[in-house]
Amino acid sequence: MQAEASRRTVARRPPDRKARIVVAAAELFRTRGYHNVSVADVAAEVGITAPALYRHFRGKPDLLLQVVDTTITTVAASAAAAPDLGTYLRASASAAVDRRGSAVLWQREARHLPEDRRREQRRALGGVADRIGVLIRAARPGLAQGDEHLLAWAVLSVYGSISWHRTSLPRRRFEELLHRLGYAVAHCPLGARPTAGEGSPPGGHPGLPVSRREEILVEAIRLFDERGFQSVSTDDIGAAAGASGPSIYKHFPTKTDLLVAAVMRGGEQRRAGTARALSEPGTPRGTLDRLLRSYIEFAIGQSHLIGLLIAELDQLPEKERKLARQTQREYLTLWVRLLDGVRPGLDTAEARIVVLAVLTVVDNAVRTGAMGERPDLADRLAEIGTAMLLAQDAPSTP
């Protein structure tokens, strides 16, 4: 009897099992995507059965909610605990390496939560940005009103940027680079560039009639970005475009054809802007400045398309997916080559991390609430991006 009781004691559930489930689910959702992960997958990763997992979570939606909540709560706690900007920047550089992948969860996977839960998550992230803005304002009391919010979101984007790629560095160098980029953003002088005049947004021509095919594609791009490709049906797209689901097939044989057309459009528009930036003669620094400006204009004019290029390439058929990935790599290689012309000798891996951080800051700014409506956004992002590209060592103390 004593031996049997001992065996029962050993078999008891570990007290941290729920936390281990959340950690395993977060990694699987990040690497495979929410729709491609089952409860059984998560249970197997933890070494338990699916019924055992259901003792802690009602189902996969409940598990996703806990994963995203835990991720945002951790980021919020870090910002709340920081007594000043320097401490926050230094601590966040280290935490970003430890929590690599967190931004994917709240930016890509949180789209699969119910809308009321998504609103709560956005409010929570907004609170984190507000706290960082307070720290920036305290360190830079002369900032124009509202600029601390732009810089705060940009700082969050810097630390979240490593969630979207695998390029790495030795731990200490990685932390130092992230800190340098975060510091460059938080202390970036704003307002040096003239603000562009108001007018039609880049890439748009309000008032011009568009075809039914164009209307369908525009709405598909928006819905794929907002909800995720797998969560959108042709009926959803038809309703948004004022057409029946079956009528879409006259223009696009399948939903996947819509995604392919959207990604092709993004690639073509970005290539056109890049070609213009490279066509003008000038110094390496001037060419890099024009490339940065071309990407900013593309992102501002096509914010939903940016969302697809970030999060939905894995949903493409194999041939188109490989082509899109290759195009992305070639674009990044161009940036790295131009940056090397401005900063000779910069380590290639470090240059890739810097460039990807710059692009992530731009991507997130144009897609974050009212931020994208700032009439001076292009100029401010050009200043922030330039500060990151040229950033040298930050102060060693907070």
Cα 179 to Cα 395: distance, rounded to the nearest angstrom:
10
The answer to whether residues 270 and 328 touch, using CB atoms and an 8 Å cutoff, is no
Does the pLDDT at position 196 exceed 90?
no
Percent of the chain with pLDDT over 70: 90
- Structural domains in the chain, CATH included, are 210-253 (1.10.10.60)
Confidence bin at 207 (pLDDT 50/70/90) = very low
Closest CA to 232 of 265, 258, 211, 209: 258
Does the pLDDT at position 11 exceed 60?
no
Place of tokens 């900032």: 143
Cα 202 to Cα 303: distance, rounded to the nearest angstrom:
11
Does the pLDDT at position 204 exceed 50?
no
Name the residue with higher pLDDT: 142 or 13: 142
- Provide the pLDDT for residue 395: 66
Number of Cβ within a 10 Å radius of residue 204: 11
Confidence bin at 372 (pLDDT 50/70/90) = confident
Among 86-90, 170-174, 246-250, the least confident range? 246-250
Name the residue with higher pLDDT: 219 or 246: 219
Amino acid at 339: L
Confidence bin at 10 (pLDDT 50/70/90) = very low
Confidence bin at 392 (pLDDT 50/70/90) = confident
The answer to whether residues 103 and 125 touch, using CB atoms and an 8 Å cutoff, is no
- Provide the pLDDT for residue 396: 60
pLDDT tens for each residue of 21-49: 999 999 999 999 999 999 999 999 999 99
pLDDT tens for each residue of 249-280: 888 999 999 999 999 988 899 999 999 999 98
Percent of the chain with pLDDT over 90: 74
Name the residue with higher pLDDT: 255 or 195: 255
**Pair of tokens at residue 398:** 């907070």
| 3-state SS record for the chain | CHHHHHHHHHCCCCCCHHHHHHHHHHHHHHHHCHHHCCHHHHHHHHCCCHHHHHCCCCCHHHHHHHHHHHHHHHHHHHHHHCCCHHHHHHHHHHHHHHCCCHHHHHHCHHHHCCHHHHHHHHHHHHHHHHHHHHHHHHHCCCCCCCHHHHHHHHHHHHHHHHHHCCCCCCHHHHHHHHHHHHHHHHCCCCCCCCCCCCCCCCCCCCCCCCCHHHHHHHHHHHHHHHHCHHHCCHHHHHHHHCCCHHHHHHCCCCHHHHHHHHHHHHHHHHHHHHHHHHHCCCCHHHHHHHHHHHHHHHHHHCHHHHHHHHHCHHHCCHHHHHHHHHHHHHHHHHHHHHHHHHCCCCCHHHHHHHHHHHHHHHHHHHCCHHHHHCCCHHHHHHHHHHHHHCCCCCCCCC
- Provide the pLDDT for residue 148: 96
Residues shown for the chain: 398
